[in-house]
Structure 1
């Protein structure tokens, strides 16, 4: 949620940013400013009444001490009248603050100045690329055929147990999944991230804090009995660790990592793009999150992007890094880098990570602050990224490393997997 002072001080900047994000309800900006003016007027009126009550209360005591009872009683009646007005104003303020809040949460984050204009994924900017396309035989197989051939994943069994999009990993498939999780976590820990093992369900306040509510409720699984939400990413519980907290400046940056399963309804997804591991309702992911000083957040974003990029290099995968255009960015992000790996069997790029800077959009909702050198509390910036999401990484590892004799395991994974080849 954007701080209200930005609307008062930078209306044109807000409007330009919303246009870049392809946001249609531009009239909300004027509505927010108008409602905020009413709120400030009511607050000023309430403050003036409170000051009058305090002043009159002091005078009442002095008049009583001097024996001026009649004047004191008149002031008491005035104070009583002011207090009645104060109660009415408090109710009006509560209503208008709710109205203002409900308007503010409908406004997405402002894009950074470097975000390109555009509405579709085809308009994203390729920042850099690495790796090379593997030379596979004409008999190359997509991962859904490879997992069947080597008995690594049973998609039909998952459908039987739960439904489509819930695969069952078996034997060497389960071992490879576990190897990837351990490798990713250790890599992040070596990079200075502290490991957490958070809950897989969160309450409504946590889902609201990171921006899943009210924007993405249709994509989340909702446990209605206790009003909990299954997490779509470890970003949600990790960032909420510091909700309503004031961090000392010396503690920054806070660096966290966690492995969790992730749950997404993916409503409306269909077709070839969802086959096999390409799009699931339950999948595993290792996440990195940082809470940093505002002056350091874009430097941190580049560091996190380099961290993820090196991980793809270690796995020997062909990749590219995209700076998302305004229309393809998430509701909450100010700047996002997407990482895609090339699937040589499917002959297409697959997204495996997003690394984003949210600036104060999440921390303003969660009231995550730090004390600066002047002992003044101010909002921190939050960032997160996938390091990495497993399904498409596994898909590309299987496809790009297939050979007549089996599927070769990248060298960095062999100590975790326990062997060099799946056959």
Structure 2
């Protein structure tokens, strides 16, 4: 959500920042609505003052026995009362329109975000590891012999439809091990607090984390109004909604492993093979709530937390900063980490780490009290995948694939797999 005061003070700068994202300037429409809203409020206040004045004069007229003045003033009070109610209703309607308009406008990009139209204009900032040199034709994850029999799309389609999967046996266990490894690393080494959160949330939580009203079609809603979370960013971030935190409490660093649900609206025909793009998937999420002065440094810290996981797993990756045209709606700046997938002979996104600035905090009224005791200010919120479990599974399987259809697994998973670090071509863990 944007601060209407900032738009009033410098509408040209606001439109120029939106133009960097490819969005048309809207400040004139917002300010026209704002001016009309404030005019109604002023008119209501003037009518209320006239009503109060007439009400005071009624008593004096009655005491003097001036019935003519008494009746005139009583009629005037009734008229002003109705006028005040009508003006207040109109002001509320205009306020609701303004709030809705502001809620549909994307966050403004940070000054250092590169300009660009789409993913082709993203800028690489880091690369780690060397893609494996295979002496055989690399297979995609679902084609590897040891994986194919344990990754059942037909049964999933029978029970749920397209973009679902049954994982069985060794592959299911590797998937679980990856999630445990991620959470343990975040808690034991990265200083995050593990949370177990709901996957059903109310409208307020989706709105506060900028998923509503613009992107309702991207998520699933139950018949009684709850929303299935697209990621635990929603629950973790909204946990501080309405709070006034002490500066000493910041930063708050959280992580959660949850099921996530996305309708994938607008993605028809994309990544239909395998489990790269699913309606239901698991992710380990990172969320930080910080002091505004610390949010940029916190984003870099979170990025290293995510990159470190891939380094421990031995998965080659590259990191890009998204250009203005490729950033998500609520992001002020986003880094994507892309893991190397031999089967596709390319890097694919496995994590996004974003700072929203005060964009979400303003929507959910999350503030902190400065150490010097000044007026409460909005916190900054950040979120990042650490990591997408299914996509990490794909990366581990493809990078560890062998010519005979088996898969050699990362040593770091040994404690979670009882030392069994080979998935055989028959699908067994040994």
TM-score by length of 2: 0.90
Specify the alignment match of 2:211 in structure 1: 212
State the distance in 2 between where 1:270 and 1:81 align.
59
CA distance, structure 1, for counterparts of residue 50 and residue 295 of structure 2: 45
SS in 2 for 1:403: coil
Q: Separation in 1 of the partners of 2:415 and 2:54?
A: 78
CA distance in 2 between partners of 1:149 and 1:92 (Å): 62
Correspondence list, 1:115-134, <5 A: 115-134=113-132
Check 1:328–1:64 CA distance in 2 against 1; reply closer, same or farther (3 A cut).
Answer: same
Q: Confirm or deny: 8 A CA contact 1:252 1:293 kept in the other structure.
A: yes
Contact 1:158/1:168, CA 8 A, preserved across alignment = yes
Supply the distance in 1 between the matched residues of 2:249 and 2:390 (Cα, whole angstroms): 34
- In the alignment, does 2:369 pair up with 1:378? no
Post-superposition offset of 1:274: 3.1
Q: Which residue of 1 aligns with 2:396?
A: 397
User: Where does structure 2 lack aligned partners over 5 or more consecutive residues?
Assistant: 425-430
Map of 1:265 onto structure 2: 263
Q: Mean Cα displacement is larger for which, 227-236 or 333-342?
A: 227-236
Equivalent-residue separation in structure 1 for 2:104 and 2:379 (angstroms): 22
SS state of the match for residue 356, structure 2?
strand
Deviation at residue 219 of structure 1 after TM alignment: 1.7
- How far the C-alpha of 1:79 sits from its partner, in A, is 4.9
Look up the match of 2:356.
Answer: 358
Helix, strand or coil at the partner of 2:271: helix
Partner of 2:423: 422
Q: Tell me how far 1:333 sits from its aligned partner.
A: 0.8
Cα deviation per residue 1:263-301 (whole Å; 9 max; x = unaligned)? Answer: 112134345733212211111100011111112111111
**Cα distance in structure 2, aligned partners of 1:412 and 1:76:** 83
| Greater mean deviation of Cα atoms: 203-212 or 162-171 | 203-212
RMSD: 2.3
Report the CA distance shift for 1:206/1:400 in structure 2 as closer, same or farther (over 3 A).
same
Partner Cα distance (2:225, 2:61) in 1: 56
Cα distance, 1:57 vs structure 2: 6.3
Supply the distance in 2 between the matched residues of 1:99 and 1:159 (Cα, whole angstroms). 43
Matched residue, 1:3: 3
* Counterpart for residue 139 of structure 2: 141
Task: After superposition, give the CA deviation of every residue in 1:170-200 in whole Å (9 maximum; x if it has no partner).
Answer: 1111111111111111111122222221111
Number of equivalenced pairs: 418
Q: State which drifts further: 68-77 or 279-288.
A: 68-77
- Structure 1 stretch displaced more, 113-122 or 235-244: 235-244
Separation in structure 1 between the aligned mates of residue 176 and residue 360 of structure 2, nearest angstrom: 31
Q: Unmatched 5+ residue regions in structure 1?
A: none
Any idea what the Cα deviations from partners look like across 1:142-191, whole Å, max 9, x if unmatched? 21112665633212221122112111111111111111111111111122
What is the distance in 1 between the residues matched to 2:153 and 2:145? 9
- In structure 2, distance between residues paired with 1:112 and 1:149: 43
Q: How far apart are 1:242 and its partner, in Å?
A: 1.9
* 2:327 aligns with one of 319, 326, 329: 329
- Residue 428 of structure 2 corresponds to none
1:196 equivalenced with 2:195 (yes/no): yes
SS of equivalent residue, structure 2 residue 32: helix
8 Å contact kept, 1:215–1:331: no
Equivalent residue, structure 2, for 1:38: 36
Quote the Cα distance in structure 2 between the aligned partners of 1:292 and 1:54: 47
Cα distance between partner residues in 2 of 1:300 and 1:407: 36
